Amino acid sequence: MATRKSTAKRSASKRSPTQSATRAANKSPGKSAAKTTAKRQRDVQAQTMARNAKAPKAKKQPVQAGMRRQPEPPLSRQHLAKPGREADLTIAPRYLAEDYVGSGKLNGMVAIVTGADSGIGRAVAVLFAREGADVAVLYLSEDNDARETALQVEAEGRRCLLISGDVRDSRFCDQAVTDVVQKFGRLDILVNNAAFQQHAKRIQDISDAQLAETLQTNIGGYFHMARAAVPHLKRGASIINTGSETGLFGSKELLDYSATKGAIHAFTKALASQLLPHGIRVNAVAPGPVWTPLNPADRAAEEVANFGKDSDMGRPAQPEELSPAYVFLASPVTASYINGVILPVMGGPYG
């Protein structure tokens, strides 16, 4: 008897601390509840997986969320020579925003919009005029497109000044701002929107010439225009830069363009801090894919036809779907406390 007791004591003394803890846990009052919870979770898992297996496979469809139906891929199968004329597009970009009713948010103001002969710039110029602003349209060389923008601005009852030139040239930017102030007597809003874009599949395919063109137009031009405009801007004025989803996420075939758009976002925030004590706000709009001459003047016709198909909305935006964001940021009525913001207008969180 003594031998059996001593053997039991020796066995107990040989148990490891882990074994002892496990035995204690198995006797814990919470163990039963834990097992019940684990089983319940497995039941939920099984039920959900069974429902998922029976669910029909939904084919992605373009999303329409506005007042009127917008064009969906396939779009025009066409390639344009740079810089791209809006008048040459088979499917014309929509810029009139016919459902947008002006309410005097920019009454008496004067705006400069670069790259306003077409695309986003044209749409912004039209809505600025509808809200009461006179508009100077800066553009490269597309005279017919620029005249169409001017006609639409004037149809809104406002004055329009057309100025052709290259924002890479700081002397042109200085003179353009001077001409606008002389013509209209003031300057309240600068929209930097002019851009150059060219896809390249490999970094080694981007020449020094392409790199220089992209950098000097997209970030150099913004810098030149802002530097020329700031001495004329008063408290309540604003600068709005056109950024891009590529500046947020990058784009593997737009290395140089993505780099400039990221730089524009940083430039926006830095300049916003610098000008804030003067009551001048600086913000940016970051569009997703937008149907303008920019992409048809950049990609092969077949790629253009499917432009925007892979976006969150399954289609590109039309310029008139972007322009209200510029009005919002430009007006001290709606955005007096908004400064240094990169406003994504991408149709979804990932563009």
Q: What is the pLDDT of residues 203-261, one digit of tens each?
A: 999 999 999 999 999 999 999 999 999 999 999 999 999 999 999 999 999 999 999 99
Q: Which amino acid is at 148?
A: E
Q: Diameter of the chain by CA atoms?
A: 116
Does the pLDDT value for residue 76 go beyond 90? Answer: no
Contact call for residues 149 and 156 (beta carbons, < 8 A): no
> For residue 281, what pLDDT band results from cuts at 50, 70 and 90?
very high
Mean pLDDT over residues 7-20, rounded?
55
Number of helices and strands in the chain (H, E): 13, 7
pLDDT for 294 equals 85
User: pLDDT > 90: what percent of the chain?
Assistant: 74
For residue 146, tell me if it sits in a domain: yes
- Assess if residue 64 is contained within a domain: no
Within a domain: residue 19?
A: no
Do the Cβ atoms of 116 and 125 come closer than 8 Å? yes
Looking up residue 244, the CATH number of its domain turns out to be 3.40.50.720
Which residues are marked as active site?
A: 257
Counting residues of the chain whose pLDDT is more than 70, the rounded percentage is: 92
Look at residue 298 and tell me whether its pLDDT is greater than 90. no
If one counts every other C-beta atom within 10 angstroms of the C-beta of residue 64, the result is 13
**How does residue 21 score in pLDDT terms, banded at 50, 70 and 90?**
low
pLDDT category, 60, cuts 50, 70, 90?
confident
Burial, 14: exposed, middle or buried (Cβ in 10 Å; 0-12, 13-18, 19+)?
exposed
Rounded Cα–Cα distance for residues 314 and 61 (Å): 6
Domain that holds residue 313: 104-345
Q: Does 75 reside within a domain? A: no
Q: What is the pLDDT of residue 19?
A: 61
pLDDT greater at residue 308 or residue 183:
183
Mean pLDDT of 292-313: 88
Integer angstrom CA distances of residue 322 from 124, 192, 264: 8, 14, 18
In a domain, residue 69? The reply is: no
Average pLDDT over the chain reads 92
- Residue 290: DSSP 8-state: B
* Residue 6 clears pLDDT 70, i.e. is over it: no
Gap between the Cα atoms of 313 and 303, Å rounded: 17
| 93 found inside a domain | no
pLDDT for 70? 95
Structural domain contains residue 32: no
Q: Name the domain count of the chain.
A: 1
Is pTM, for the whole model, over 0.85?
yes
User: What does the alpha-carbon distance between residue 296 and residue 90 come to, in Å, rounded to a whole number?
Assistant: 11
Query: pLDDT band at 31, cuts 50/70/90?
Result: confident
Query: If 0-12 CB within 10 Å is exposed, 13-18 middle and 19+ buried, where does residue 279 land?
Result: middle
Residue where the block lists tokens 């955005």: 335
Structure tokens at 228: 């020329």
Is the per-residue pLDDT at 351 higher than 70? yes
List the strands of the sheet with 342-345, edge to edge: 160-164, 134-139, 110-114, 189-192, 238-242, 281-287, 342-345
302 part of a folded domain: yes
- Non-local (6+) Cβ contacts of 116 within 8 A are 122, 124, 125, 135, 137, 138, 139, 146, 149, 191, 193
Distance of CA 258 to the CA centre of its chain: 12
pLDDT of amino acid 301: 87
Residue type, 121: G
Strands 281-287 and 238-242: parallel
pLDDT band at 10 (very low <50, low <70, confident <90, very high): low
Task: Write out pLDDT tens, residues 145-184.
Answer: 999 999 999 999 999 999 999 999 999 999 999 999 999 9
Here the tokens at position 37 are: 């919870």
Least confident span in 10-19, 304-313, 342-351: 10-19
Checking phi first, is residue 105 left (phi over 0); if not, alpha (psi -120 to 50) or beta? alpha
Smallest CA-to-CA distance from 133 within 325, 284, 330 is with 330
